[in-house]
Chains A and B, each alone.
Chain A
Amino acid sequence: MKRSRRSFLQLAGVSALGLGLKPAAGLFAASGGHGRAPGEKVLKSEKALKAKQWAMVIDTRKFESAEDLEPLIEVCHKIHNVPSMKDKRHEIKWIWEEEFEHAFPTQELRFLPERIAQLPFLTLCNHCEHPPCVRACPTKATFKREDGIVLMDFHRCIGCRFCMAACPYGSRSFNFRDPRPFIEEINPDYPTRMKGVVEKCNFCAERLAVGRMPACVEASNGAITFGDLEDPESEVRALLRENYTIRRKQALGTGPAIYYIV
């Protein structure tokens, strides 16, 4: 009797384990998609802006001081419900300013023109062509879309912060506490986040979907240009043809989609 009870318990243990593993059964078959049911379709608006790889060219010559950058940062953080945390450790930022030596820490700094050494640079997610964060994420909560945008699924993120360790640009923020009390005015058109998930710039995917340019681009008075990197006729390609541009930490092979004219 004793023996059978024990073997029953052992069997029950193994079965419970089997139940836990069941979802992994379809593992490699399903690993390509993003968990969409077969036959399910996502319809795009006719107005939606499309591209093969969205990219941004920032003409830093058109910015003079931090004051010129502030409206861009403000509008982004406002429409995306980015909280302003009092504790710097818990800071959330999608787009922010850095000095040259921090935005480009691997670049030679000693004999820079004064203008560049003192100019604040806009920094945001680079929406890399080969994003290390997407490689690291264990749940596909962060993924690269067909149009090159690196997006976050706030509802799938388990908050392991592997993507933050992987990002060489410090572009990601983590909600160390509930952000909602720290949002001055909630924009109902965009979701707020909960504690314990990672977030970052989304290249205004929600605006592109309805045919509008990213908010920072709109607010930049022409200093930022946004367009398709793969389209030779695009405005960004024209700028890249005519100007010498730099990208952040290019040697890492991530292929940042943010170009700076200096």
Chain B
Amino acid sequence: MQKSSNERKVLIDGSRLITEGMARAGADSFIGYPITPANLLYLYASRRMPLMLPAPDEITTLQWMSGLSATGRLPVTATSFPGFALMIESVNMAFMMELPMVIVVVQRLGPATGTATCGAQGDIALLRGMISGGHQLPVLCTSDFNDCWELSSRSVSLAAELRTPVVLLTSKEEVMTQKSFDLSLLESISPVKREFYNSNMPYQSYGVEGDEIAPPFLPVTTDKWQVRLNASTHDRNGILQHSNDEAIANTVRLDRKAAESLDSFTYYELDEQDGADTLVVSYGITASAARDAVRKARSKGRKVSLLVPKTILPLPDDYRMIMGKYQKVIIAEENINAQFADLVFGSAIPANIVTAGSAGKMITPSEILKEEDCV
């Protein structure tokens, strides 16, 4: 990884960084269906991706992506809740078939169609429960432009490595706001190197050996081995089964896949201050307010630490351990039901956890440290 030496300031939005980051990482196809606030991603992808197809609806979007993925491509789409809701059955299919792809979910205010041009962070409870059976697929969440670049490219490589759909979670305010930014700060991105199955032993579409958690991939265009992809309960060969031991073992492996690989994609920002007894936790768009809140508090002599989770699902244990070290923890997110706190603690949120929420407007730095009376 090299940084270029020349400063290059531009006025840029997160959509552009996400699209370019994914393309450089090896995403080669974009299937689009318009929805605010994800439209800039669609626009940029139409200029950037080697293949761009306009789908007639979001179910088709996911089906076309799955078909392309089955032929060895790395497809991407971008949507927001109303479109994502239509995709969910097909995301389950791609998860079950173990097809790599990335879905950028740009959050906006719900419920239902809510407000298309108003940001929000209301979708992690949905993402946690979207796979029938309670399985989880990786969800990475951007908190600044650097994340738009690095996490988008990591989403692509992760999808390929784990043979899975990956969700890159962001929000309206991150992808539609232009900011001055120095492009030379971006690390270079190498395209993912995909290794397809090349053994002379017969191929099983869902066969894993030793400590493998994701089966090797072969596209359905191969002339060497039969490939079987299946959205229904299936054995190692991809043949539909009711519930025999081999098929259930496959279903169980799917549940373990993301969790057991979590170390390879646990990302968070931890800015701890010596002697601090208060920790601010915030992710996504609210992390920018949290960074300002912590900076201002420190400028007034307060000792405060900051945790910005970027890997949202599966949830790394690290977060609970870090929070456990503090007398007071403030979790700030732009929803009114403390979805992240619920993800970490369930319904039994400890008494030392304070949550700050909002609907229809960004949480400000002063709202985060309101009780601290220091910003």
Whether chain B is bound by chain A comes out as no
